[in-house]
């Protein structure tokens, strides 16, 4: 199922994500699922991979939380959309992730969960 992301500020819906079609209660996360797993960042556009959601973004913050790095990436297609990605220290360093760096977000379909309001 493909869904357009919209914000309360800009409802143009220029960013689409492929998501699984699952019926569940609001706030439910499948067992062994963490909201930031299945998300990756790349410095070049990925090709020929199994992930269905690949789009360009710009790093807006890089925060270290113990041994994990949380990078917040703003969609270039819809600047109202920001997605957090968890990385290792080594990944941050090898990708040279800093604020302002353009990256490609890679999100596995089963890491996307739509929640009603």
Q: How many CB atoms lie within 10 A of CB 69?
A: 20
pLDDT of residue 80: 83
* CATH architecture for residues 2-111: Beta Barrel (2.40)
Tens digit of pLDDT for each residue in 55-104?
899 999 999 999 999 999 998 888 888 888 999 999 999 999 999 999 99
Most confident of the ranges 7-16, 27-36, 67-76, 102-111: 67-76
Q: What's the angle, vertex CA 87, arms to CA 17 and CA 64, rounded to 5?
A: 120
Q: Which of 63, 60, 110 is nearest to 87 (CA)?
A: 63
Give me the percent of the chain exceeding a pLDDT of 70. Answer: 63
Q: Output the pLDDT for position 103.
A: 96
Q: pTM to 2 decimals?
A: 0.69
């Amino acid at each position: 199922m493909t869904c357009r992301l919209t914000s309360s500020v800009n409802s143009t819906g220029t960013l689409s994500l492929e998501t699984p079609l699952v019926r569940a209660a609001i706030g439910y996360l499948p067992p062994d699922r963490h909201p930031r797993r299945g998300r990756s960042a790349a410095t070049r556009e990925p090709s020929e991979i199994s992930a269905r959601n690949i789009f360009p973004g710009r790093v807006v913050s890089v925060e270290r939380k113990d041994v994990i790095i949380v990078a917040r990436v703003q969609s270039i297609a819809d600047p109202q959309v920001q997605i957090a990605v968890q990385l290792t220290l080594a990944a941050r360093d090898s990708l040279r992730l800093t604020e302002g760096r353009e990256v490609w977000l890679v999100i596995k379909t089963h890491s996307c969960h739509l929640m009603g309001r």
